[in-house]
Amino acid sequence: EKRKLNKYIDQQSKTKDGLVVELAANIGSPQDMEHVLANGAEGIGLYRTEFLYMDRDVSPTEDEQYESYKEVLEKMGDKPVVIRTLDIGGDKEIPYLNMPKEMNPFLGYRALRICLDNISMFKTQLRALLRASKFGNLKVMYPMVSSLEEIKEANDILEEVRCQLKAEGIEYRDFEVGIMIEIPAAAINSDALAKEVDFFSIGTNDLIQYTVAVDRMNEKISHLYSPFNPAVLKLINMTIANGHKNKIWTGMCGEAAGDLKMIPFLLGAGLDEFSMSPSAILPARELISKLTTKEAKEIKEKVLSMKTAKEIEEYLGNVISNI
């Protein structure tokens, strides 16, 4: 089985009728790169930078961050590397930031919200990213965006940092700036948000949690937490359609992107980039090579007409076992 999949390592990710998509990897640190390269990733779709800030007593310095980003960019050559700005809070606590105890941490002080409130910390990360940009094909992504204003605020800070570097004579390369779509408000308003960014990446882990109001860590209600929930699938479909309407590429870096049962639907909805744990890449590439775009679109339409997660999951389970 493993030998059979190995033939896909150096292949493009392509449907049976020749539509090319990108299969990328999610990473948490430069140490994951060996695994990424061994599994034939065509890019990094999500570099979770928060691990740089965890398990230590002070924030990582600009140089420390720069070195980590540079290492990943260099190892990927000209392949795209999406680096996400700090996403802490929720379940990821950082003692030295003295974050307040909250009743609802997942609805609280988190991610971009912390960065826009802690501008000097955010600027340090943006400086490190700008300095690393010349070593590869960088794309920067903001997490937990709920409104247009947050994008504008973050971009204004990025512009300020760009000007500072220019004044200091430090070289950098222009890069795309995108956002995660992981809050229902962002998915619903994705037509407007698409006009302000270069790409979307759908974060299903949080999008599911917020759409069905089920804490992603709570075992007791985990039966309600499903990527196959029709409401979640409608938001995904809508986000991709609005991205394309506005001519920006749309990817997915939540767990659902690497779920074989989800892939025919996502392909049919037109997803451009699928980012997943490295070990999921080769099975996904094999599955995609066995589907046509026409079949995928029919599957997507059929799924969108169904009413329950159970019915959808069963149908998609049958689809992939018959391929």
> Known binder of ligand: residue 173?
no
Q: Which is nearer to ligand PEP, 48 or 131 (CB)?
A: 48
Helices (H), 77-181: 111-117, 119-132, 148-168
Any binding-site annotation on 127? no
* Catalytic positions, written as ranges: 253
User: Are 225 and 216 a contacting pair, CB within 8 Å?
Assistant: yes
Residue 45 as a binder of Mg ion (CB under 5 A): the answer is no
- Which member of 65, 68, 124, 204 binds ligand PEP (CB under 6 A)? 204
Q: Is 205 in the site for ligand PEP (CB under 6 A)?
A: yes
Please report whether residue 48 would count as binding ligand PEP according to CB under 6 A. Answer: yes
CA distances from 103 to 74, 184, 200, 256 (A): 42, 21, 30, 28
* Lookup result for tokens 């949690």: 209
Tokens, residue 184: 């229902």
- Pick the piece of the chain touching ligand PEP (CB under 6 A) from 114-122, 202-210, 293-301, 308-316: 202-210
Of the candidates 207, 97, 55, the residue with the CA atom closest to the CA atom of residue 144: 207
Q: Is 143 exposed, middle or buried (0-12, 13-18, 19+ CB in 10 A)?
A: buried
Which of Mg ion, ligand PEP, none binds 277 (CB below 5-8 Å, type-dependent)?
A: none
**Which listed residue (42, 182, 272, 273) binds ligand PEP by CB under 6 A?**
182
The angle formed by the CA atoms of residues 104, 107 and 108, to the nearest 5 degrees, is: 80
Question: How many residues touch ligand PEP (CB under 6 A)?
Answer: 10
Q: Is residue 150 involved in binding ligand PEP (CB under 6 A)?
A: no
The least CB distance from residue 203 to Mg ion, in Å, is: 4
- Contact residues for Mg ion, defined by CB under 5 A: 182, 203, 206
Please report, in range form, the residues annotated as the binding site.
Answer: 48, 84, 182, 205-206, 216
